[in-house]
Amino acid sequence: MSWRDLMCGEPRSADIGKRLSLAGWAGRRRDHGGLVFIDLRDHTGICQVVVNPEHSPEAAEAAHAVRAEFVLRAEGELVARAPDAVNPGLPTGEVELQADSLEIVSRSEALPFQIDDEGVEEETRLRYRYLDIRGERMQRNLRLGATVISAFRRYMESLGFVDVWTPMLTKATPEGARDFVVPVRLQPGKFFALPQSPQLFKQVLMVAGMDRYYQIATCIRDEDLRADRQFEHRQLDVEMAFPAREDVWEVIEGAVRGAFEALGREPPAQPFRRMPWQEAKARYGSDKPDLRFDLEISDATETTRESEFKIFADATCVRFLRVPQELSRAELDRLEERAKQWGGKGLAYLVFDEEGEVRSPIAKFLSEEELAVFRGEPASTVLFGAGEPELVARVLGALRQQLGRELGLIDEERDEFLWVTDFPLFEWSEEEGRWVSEHHPFTGVRPEDEELLESDPGAVVSQSYDLVWNGWELGSGSIRIHRQELQERVFRVLGISDEQAQARFGFLLEVMRMGAPPHGGFGFGVDRFLALLAGEPNIREVIAFPKAASGSEPMTGAPTTLPDEQLTELGIRVVDVGQRKGHTSWSTQ
């Protein structure tokens, strides 16, 4: 006996007259006083099964006992439906299986929610993920993911990239997050770190002569979860020897193209746009600007240098957004609240009404010349940011994004891929009182800036780049440091002493002394890419078993405590550090 001859979505008119077995889950069941109709379903679709008590009393008895989501096997002849029963909305709508045998293979309790019900709370969906995945949305998303990943593999291999597996149990790899650690029974008191990325291994592979490496790598980072962030995510991780950064970009653009083509979609135009980080911050207030709408930020620092309006005159930087709408008082109040959330002190504005008359508490301080610069079309609003450039960019960037959405300026039909280039190598951390890496500490330095490393670290431009799609950062990469002496200088700027560097990254420094070719690469965030391709707002929708926002995995209930014996064996004593934020709740935001 074979369980099934066709999948449920496959029978067609051409199969009429064949004797078939079908197996799947029971969907809708209709009892027509005698005849029983059951929708038999699997991921390919639905086939209607009819059971006629006159033909087969045993099958009819089984059919009466069937409830939603029972697993069934039906056997019988495929017949044409009566003309008035044809369902043109269903690929199998012209046929039905006239079952003379119906077997209940497996029963189901009453479900906590109906398959494909769209109104189910996310925590319930994650708790019963197998039922959620049985539905159309998750089936589509997981299959889309598999198609894209297999396209990536084919493409990378066609270019001579070699898939090399790197360890999960390793030493800390700094990518800006905390490490998850694993205790080692055989060496009590010692811990492996799970890799935040295979960064160091892929660099070592270049020194080892692999030339072109790739991997669909799992990256594990202990950081707060968000719509585009999980503890675990997948990267198309790439490294190549002797590259120019354009070579890396070309490879990644090809991978994007391959994914679009595998899904039967029109790929985005190539090459992707490129924009230096400075420019992205100045014009869009963001290092991952959404270019599907304009609403650009303009600079007014020079214009307002001599302003009567003290706040402008005294500010390091004054910039403004020209909004193509006459915003109301209430809207401006709301935007001001938003600006304050982002660290702004307030929100200066000029509203130009239909007649072009200006309405604003600050207009009286501005000269005619200043007003002339800011005056736009009638029925528009100018919003200002004044202060340190970083703050101004943050506030105006956030307002730009919000207004783009709220005013319907985003062209949803458009796809905008962008390389953001020339990031600073370091940023100053107020919290830690030291320079930290903008990306990771192995990022290359623009050759002409090497001499500034010690004297003016903030001015050093790196050889890194990010890929952005419609305002989502899809990943980062760089040309790396391949000279030991330069790597040591960077560590020193980061406040890592030579001894610490030796202890943490001694192997890397050693590798760099043994014939390290120039190399560079990229870590492409697969889950973010998939979420965007699937039109999903959250990467959890493309991951089979994601963590909820609290950091728990609702189906298995992980993480859990360990039995005392296991802790003892590991040499671990648990001390109470209290609950951490987000830990007690189930929230899935």
Residue-by-residue DSSP string for 554-587? TTTTBS----HHHHHHHT-------PPTTSS---
Q: How many residues bind ligand ASP (CB under 6 A)?
A: 10
Of the candidate spans 119-127, 255-263, 324-332, 470-478, the one that interacts with ligand ASP by CB under 6 A turns out to be 470-478
Which of 6, 522, 529, 534 touches ligand ASP by CB under 6 A?
522
Residue-by-residue DSSP string for 275-334? EEHHHHHHHHSSSS--TTS---EEE-TTTTTT-SSHHHHH-SEEEEEEESS---HHHHHH
Min CB(217)–ligand ASP separation in Å = 9
Q: Does 523 bind ligand ASP (CB under 6 A)?
A: yes
Pair of tokens at residue 430 = 């107020």
Pair of tokens at residue 403 = 């207004």
Side-chain-side CA neighbours of residue 369 (13 Å):
8
Min CB(184)–ligand ASP separation in Å = 25
Min CB(225)–ligand ASP separation in Å = 17
Min CB(469)–ligand ASP separation in Å = 16
Min CB(219)–ligand ASP separation in Å = 6
Q: Which is nearer to ligand ASP, 11 or 521 (CB)?
A: 521
Min CB(246)–ligand ASP separation in Å = 16
Q: Does 380 bind ligand ASP (CB under 6 A)?
A: no
| Secondary structure of residue 92 in the 3-state scheme | coil
Which of 462, 476, 550, 552 touches ligand ASP by CB under 6 A?
476
Of the candidate spans 101-109, 342-350, 423-431, 519-527, the one that interacts with ligand ASP by CB under 6 A turns out to be 519-527
Q: Which is nearer to ligand ASP, 467 or 548 (CB)?
A: 467
Min CB(476)–ligand ASP separation in Å = 4
Min CB(481)–ligand ASP separation in Å = 12
Q: Does 521 bind ligand ASP (CB under 6 A)?
A: yes
Q: Does 444 bind ligand ASP (CB under 6 A)?
A: no
Q: Does 174 bind ligand ASP (CB under 6 A)?
A: no
My answer on whether omega of the bond before 11 falls inside 30° of 0, hence cis, is no
Pair of tokens at residue 248 = 């890396």
Alpha carbons 232 and 218: distance in angstroms, whole number = 6
Of the candidate spans 17-25, 312-320, 473-481, 531-539, the one that interacts with ligand ASP by CB under 6 A turns out to be 473-481
Alpha carbons 125 and 136: distance in angstroms, whole number = 13
Sign, CA dihedral 455-459-465-469, equals: positive
Alpha carbons 73 and 99: distance in angstroms, whole number = 10
Q: Which is nearer to ligand ASP, 344 or 477 (CB)?
A: 477
Min CB(174)–ligand ASP separation in Å = 10
Of the candidate spans 259-267, 357-365, 476-484, 574-582, the one that interacts with ligand ASP by CB under 6 A turns out to be 476-484
Of the candidate spans 74-82, 420-428, 472-480, 496-504, the one that interacts with ligand ASP by CB under 6 A turns out to be 472-480
Alpha carbons 324 and 327: distance in angstroms, whole number = 9
| Contacts with 42 (C-beta within 8 Å, 6 or more apart), sequence order | 7, 8, 9, 23, 24, 25
Residue-by-residue DSSP string for 19-64? EEEEEEEEEEEEEETTEEEEEEEETTEEEEEEE-TTT-HHHHHHHH
Q: Which is nearer to ligand ASP, 323 or 418 (CB)?
A: 418
Q: Which is nearer to ligand ASP, 304 or 476 (CB)?
A: 476
| Secondary structure of residue 471 in the 3-state scheme | coil
184 contacts 205 by C-beta, under 8 angstroms = no
Q: Does 538 bind ligand ASP (CB under 6 A)?
A: no
Q: For the segment 199-218, give every residue that binds ligand ASP (CB under 6 A).
A: 199
Angle of helix 484-493 relative to helix 498-512, nearest 10 degrees?
A: 160
| Contacts with 241 (C-beta within 8 Å, 6 or more apart), sequence order | 206, 209, 210, 211, 212, 517, 518, 519
The helix (run of H) or strand (run of E) holding residue 492 is helix 484-493
Q: Does 197 bind ligand ASP (CB under 6 A)?
A: yes
Which of 76, 289, 471, 477 touches ligand ASP by CB under 6 A?
477
Min CB(176)–ligand ASP separation in Å = 8
> Which residue's Cβ lies closest to ligand ASP?
523
Q: Which residues bind ligand ASP (CB under 6 A)?
A: 175, 197, 199, 219, 476-478, 521-523
